[in-house]
């Protein structure tokens, strides 16, 4: 039994209306015999029988509308007559067209559908693009890939912020902490760092990765001090004097963007040693405070530190760091610059030093000073000027 579906009768015509059946169920039909007339767009088309055989079933009657591809007639080809011609030559043969149908073409077979096109088409460009990608010539990209370098890490020096071949060749990747092969501890009971100790490990690691530190050592002769001076307070004031003498060490540096942001405010972080580790509470606007106010702030810090109530906000956003470390031992040091700040002043223990004075010798109390600064953004001259300002202020009698 063979079912014949209504062939595609032409463009824009997903269906056709049956006008006349020329055969009835039970009739014998011969291949190519006119089988029925269908109407499409005001023209009537004769559809010939595709098979020889007996009409078994008509799927629709005169006046009915049949969709293209839906069954039209069943013909039993087993009974007499010559076998039907072979099936359509290949799956992608064109579907039938009726010459009288308004197929709207003299050639071929056009796919037709009622499918609706929903689209949003935007004319032209000028749309904001998402965050920019790295620009580099293909050869440079290939080179970076070969060397396992991520182009986003390479500072571009080419025109239009392009990463050049030289940039890639000169690139020395900063080893990320994560990428290091872990140092194996001997068997024992390793304890994870937490709290301030952990923060210090991260901060110091970051400093090592990024900062190019340089330290200048000098001493402040304080033998002329009036009695009753507090060293820490004087150091804070001296730092302000240093900032005024040379502003270049008070502020921030962004190594990736290569930008520097100097500040007029002097917010000094004070390194404080606690049983839990190092914390750096900040004294704000030191340049505006009197000695008494500074003393009060320092006392407040001491109290809070013991009570462990120093809040994280009180340890952020400082422009300079002071490390007054000499209470127990230590004269000079190479204090670590805390990114993104530019400099840190370390003050060691006050000593009685033998100093030459006008052809003789005396012993004077002196504060050893160690100024570390980020040489990426501050020059030696700037650091010395700063230090001179610090020393000059420290050496005042009050």
Partner 1 sequence: MALFPRPAAARGKGPHRAVPVLEEIRLKTIAQFKIAYSQFLDPDGKPVSELPEFARDPEQLLRMYRLMTETRVFDTKAINLQRTGKLGTYASSLGHEAAHVGVGAAMREEDCFAPMYREYGAQFWRGVKMSEVLLYWGGDERGNDFSGPAHDFAWCVPIATQCLHAAGAALAFKLRGEPRCAVSVIGDGGTSEGNFYEALNLAAVRKLPAVFVVVNNKWAISVPLSIQTAAETLAQKAVAAGMPGVQVDGNDVIAVRDAMETALARARAGDGPTLVEAVTYRLSDHTTADDASRYRDPAEVEAARGNEPLIRLRKYLVSIGAWDEDQEQALLSQCAEKVEAAVKEYVETPVQPSGAMFDYMYATLPQAMEEQRETAIRYGADGGDH
Partner 2 sequence: MAKVTLIEAVTMALAHEMERDESVIVLGEDVGVNGGVFRATAGLQQRFGPDRVMDTPLAEAMIAGASIGMAAQGMKPVCEMQFMGFIYPAVDQMINHAGRMRHRTRGRLHCPMVLRAPFGGGIHAPEHHSESTEALFAHMPGIRVVIPSSPQRAYGLLLASIRDPDPVVFLEPKRIYRLQKQEVQDDGKAMPLDVCYTLREGDDVTLVTWGAMTFETLKAATAMAEEGISCEVIDLATISPLDLDTILESVEKTGRLVIVHEAARNCGVGAEIAAGVAEKGLYDLEAPIQRVTGYDTVMPLFRMEYQYLPSVRRIVDAAKATLED
From 75-83, 117-125, 213-221, 305-313, give the range in contact with partner 2 by CB under 8 A. 117-125
* Structure tokens that stand for 145 in this block: 């890939």
Binding mask 263-302 for partner 2 (x = CB under 8 A): ----------------------------------------
Residues 6+ away with beta carbon under 8 Å from 291: 230, 233, 237
Q: Does 360 bind partner 2 (CB under 8 A)?
A: no
**30 or 354, CB closer to partner 1?**
30
Q: Least separation, in Å, of the C-beta of 89 and partner 1?
A: 5
- Angle of CA points 302, 308, 314, to nearest 5°: 70
Residue with the two structure tokens 């109407």: 39
* Assigned token pair, 81: 């007559």
Over the window 336 to 375, marking each residue x when it contacts partner 1 by CB under 8 A and - when it does not, the resulting string is: ----------------------------------------
CA atoms within 13 A on the CB side of 297: 21
47 binds partner 1 (CB under 8 A): yes
Cα-based distances in Å from 175 to 80, 198, 253, 257, 338: 88, 20, 20, 19, 19
Q: Min. distance of Cβ 252 from partner 1 in angstroms?
A: 57
Q: Which of 3, 105, 259, 290 binds partner 1 (CB under 8 A)?
A: 105
**Is there binding between residue 135 and partner 2 (CB under 8 A)?**
yes
In the complex with partner 1, the residue whose CB is nearer, 82 or 290, is: 82
How far is Cα 158 from Cα 151, in angstroms, rounded to an integer? 13
Question: What DSSP string runs through 187-218?
Answer: SS------HHHHHHHHHHHHHHHH--EEEEEE
From the list 295, 49, 323, the residue with the least C-alpha distance to 204 is: 323
Q: Which does 126 bind (CB under 5 to 8 A by kind): partner 2, partner 1, none?
A: partner 2
146 binds partner 2 (CB under 8 A): no
Contact call for residue 74 and partner 1 (CB under 8 A): no
Q: How far is CA 375 from CA 48, 200, 326, 349, in A?
A: 94, 22, 25, 26
- Interface residues toward partner 2, by CB under 8 A: 11-12, 89-90, 92-94, 102, 104-127, 129-130, 132-133, 135-138, 141, 160, 162
- Interface residues toward partner 1, by CB under 8 A: 7-8, 10, 32, 43, 45-48, 50, 82, 85-86, 88-90, 92-103, 105-109
């Amino acid at each position: 039994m063979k079912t014949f579906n209504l062939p595609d009768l032409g463009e824009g015509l997903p269906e056709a209306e049956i006008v006349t059946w020329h055969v009835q169920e039970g009739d014998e039909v011969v291949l190519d015999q006119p089988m029925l007339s269908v109407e499409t767009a005001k023209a009537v088309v004769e559809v010939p029988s595709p098979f020889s055989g007996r009409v078994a079933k008509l799927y629709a009657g005169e006046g009915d509308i049949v969709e293209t591809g839906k069954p039209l007639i069943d013909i039993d080809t087993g009974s007499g007559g010559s076998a039907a011609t072979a099936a359509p030559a290949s799956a992608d043969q064109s579907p039938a067209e009726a010459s009288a149908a308004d197929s709207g073409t003299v050639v071929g077979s056009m796919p037709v559908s009622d499918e609706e096109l929903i689209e949003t088409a935007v004319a032209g460009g000028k749309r904001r693009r998402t965050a920019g990608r790295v620009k580099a010539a293909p050869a440079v990209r290939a080179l970076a890939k070969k060397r396992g370098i991520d182009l986003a890490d390479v500072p571009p020096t080419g025109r239009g912020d392009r990463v050049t071949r030289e940039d890639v060749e000169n690139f020395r990747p900063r080893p990320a902490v994560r990428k290091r092969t872990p140092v194996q501890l001997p068997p024992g009971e390793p304890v994870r760092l937490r709290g301030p100790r952990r923060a210090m490990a991260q901060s110091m690691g970051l400093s090592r990765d990024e900062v190019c530190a340089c330290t200048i050592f000098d001493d402040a002769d304080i033998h002329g001090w009036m009695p009753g001076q507090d060293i820490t307070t004087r150091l804070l004031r001296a730092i302000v004097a240093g900032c005024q003498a040379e502003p270049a060490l008070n502020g921030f540096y962004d190594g990736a963007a290569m930008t520097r942001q100097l500040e007029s405010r002097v917010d000094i972080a004070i390194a404080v040693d606690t049983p839990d580790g190092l914390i750096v509470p900040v004294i704000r606007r030191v340049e505006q405070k009197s000695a008494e106010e500074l003393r009060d702030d320092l006392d407040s810090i001491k109290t809070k530190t013991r009570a462990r109530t120093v809040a994280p906000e009180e340890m952020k956003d400082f422009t300079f760091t002071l490390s007054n470390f000499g209470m127990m031992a230590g004269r000079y040091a190479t204090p670590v610059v805390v990114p993104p700040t530019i400099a840190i002043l370390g003050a060691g223990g006050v000593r009685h030093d033998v100093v030459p004075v006008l052809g003789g010798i005396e012993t004077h109390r002196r504060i050893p000073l160690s100024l570390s600064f980020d040489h990426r953004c501050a020059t030696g001259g700037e650091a010395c000027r700063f230090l001179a300002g610090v020393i000059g202020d420290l050496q005042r009698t009050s």
